[in-house]
């Protein structure tokens, strides 16, 4: 069964709320989904998942350090065409999530758009958008699996 791993860093709970909403959307389509704080994730966990969500808050104009460390730890791993999504909250500037999305693309990840950025606490509408992103991941993974089965 395809698996989505959502890795996030959140000091205020805003990015975690987004991660939970994405997971809810993915699970509504029966996708095996796990939400884990970036401090508790290894590169092996990322490599074992079919898709990865990166919850990237922006602090002092930069992406969260635990997420950047995970990306550094993934250097040299074959992530070509591994599906990824990126999202995060911010206060002043929101460039952390787009910067991470671009870095993931350079590493070989297939990053789904949109990269979702929310200023401060997500509204109900923004959380609904996160749920839709989770459903989008589930549909992409299920489509990939169906295509693989047809080609087998």
Report the pLDDT value the prediction gives residue 61, as an integer from 0 to 100.
Answer: 81
CATH for the stretch 3-151? 3.40.50.360
| Residue 46 reports pLDDT greater than 90 | yes
Q: How confident is the model at residue 97 (pLDDT cuts 50, 70, 90)?
A: very high
Q: Which pTM was predicted?
A: 0.92
If one compares 95 and 137, the residue with the highest pLDDT of the two is: 137
Average pLDDT over the chain reads: 92
Q: How confident is the model at residue 148 (pLDDT cuts 50, 70, 90)?
A: low
Q: What residue segments make up the domains of the chain, in order of their start?
A: 3-151
- DSSP secondary structure string for all residues of the chain: --EEEEEE--SSSHHHHHHHHHHHHHHHTT-EEEEEEGGG--HHHHHHSSEEEEE--EETTEE-HHHHHHHHHHTTS--TT-EEEEEEEESS---HHHHHHHHHHHHT-EEPSPPEEEESSPPHHHHHHHHHHHHHHHHHHHHHHHHHHHH-
Report the pLDDT value the prediction gives residue 151, as an integer from 0 to 100.
Answer: 53
């Amino acid at each position: 069964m395809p698996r989505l791993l959502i890795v996030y860093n959140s000091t205020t709970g805003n990015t975690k709320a987004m991660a939970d909403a994405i997971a809810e959307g993915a699970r509504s389509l029966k996708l095996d989904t796990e939400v884990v704080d970036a401090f508790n994730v290894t590169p092996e966990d990322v490599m074992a998942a079919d898709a990865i969500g990166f919850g990237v808050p922006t602090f002092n104009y930069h992406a969260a350090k635990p997420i950047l460390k995970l990306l550094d730890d993934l250097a040299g791993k074959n992530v070509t065409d591994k599906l990824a999504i990126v999202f995060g909250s911010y206060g002043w500037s929101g460039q952390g999530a787009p910067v991470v999305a671009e870095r993931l693309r350079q590493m070989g990840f297939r990053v789904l758009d949109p990269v979702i950025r929310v200023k401060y606490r997500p509204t109900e509408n923004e959380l609904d958008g996160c749920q839709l992103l989770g459903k989008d991941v589930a549909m992409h993974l299920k489509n990939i699996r169906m295509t693989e089965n047809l080609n087998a």
